[in-house]
Amino acid sequence: MVVKRVVGWDTSTAIRKPASSCSWADRPKRPPSRPRELEAVGARCLRFLVRAAGPRRAGDRRIMRRIRAGQPRPRGVAPTMTRRAMLEGMPTELAPGPRRTADRAGLASLLPTLQARYPNGASWLDRRVDDALRGRAEVMVWGRGGRSDGICIETPKGHRRLKLSTLFVPPLARGRGVGTRLLQSRALTWLHRGLQDVYVTVAAEDPATADFFLRHGFIHRARCAGRYGHGRDELVLGWDPDVAARTFAAAA
């Protein structure tokens, strides 16, 4: 499975893990007086913690060496890393890999389905690509060969805030866990970027889509009456890292 980069943000932000996301400033100056057991995520979590910590400062090495199975962990570090390790441990065919730049022609296979499902779907997608070219959105297409199995469009909404504008899997690609693996891949990126608020909006008359997000780490936040016209409400669902980590770990 190949992840094809269309246009948008610099992928280097998703590859380099910033040190600030590891909460090193919150660590104690000496080990806790009463050792606490590590959370039951195993050695895999510890290996990922060391690998994902990112650039280290001069005083970090001693703390990193002390993180071993059966030993106390620094406060303020493990919770975030535990979420990452639980998500990292999920088997996936959609992990970040080779990417190539594509233009609008690369989305052609999705246009008929989008046009049938959404009014003016083709023109809407074209506008999102324009946003990505201007740095106002990120468009990614997942697929194998010349086939597109899914599309993800993300729009930044301020500092560490992002809207999942679209997560779409064509009917022929459904039922194979593509959407689940797609969300897992994006969740890792959100954690690495240190995002504090990720949300998606769903039409209230589309309970299947809302249920999918609620089963994959999102929680209900609000209901906007008449958002799509009289009697057509909108649901606002927010991504919760803790819920997502438990959900993906249970499915592993």
CATH of the domain at 135: 3.40.630.30
81 with 115, same domain? no
- Of the residues 88, 116, 140, which one is the last residue of a structural domain? 88
Number of compact structural domains in the chain: 2
User: Looking at residue 71, what is its pLDDT?
Assistant: 41
What mean pLDDT do residues 52-62 have? 38
One domain for residues 84 and 117: no
Same domain for 115 and 235?
Answer: yes
Q: What is the pLDDT of residues 188-197, one digit of tens each?
A: 889 888 898 9
User: Could you say which of 28, 58, 88 is where a domain stops?
Assistant: 88
156 and 39 in a single domain? The answer is: no
Judge contact between 15 and 111, C-beta under 8 A: no
Q: Give the DSSP H/E element, type plus range, for residue 213.
A: helix 207-214
Residues 69 and 141 in one domain: no
Domain region containing 245:
2-8+94-251
Question: Which tokens in the block code for residue 108?
Answer: 């052609």
Whether 74 and 145 map to the same domain: the answer is: no
Q: Which tops the pLDDT comparison, 250 or 93?
A: 250
Q: Given 88, 121, 149, which residue is the final one in a domain? A: 88
Question: How far, in Å, CA of 60 to CA of 57, rounded?
Answer: 5
Q: Is residue 203 located within the same domain as residue 237?
A: yes
Same domain, 180 and 78: no
**128 and 202 housed in the same domain:** yes
Residues 214 and 150 in one domain: yes
Q: 234 and 158 in one domain?
A: yes
pTM above 0.75, yes or no: no
pLDDT at 81 over 70: no
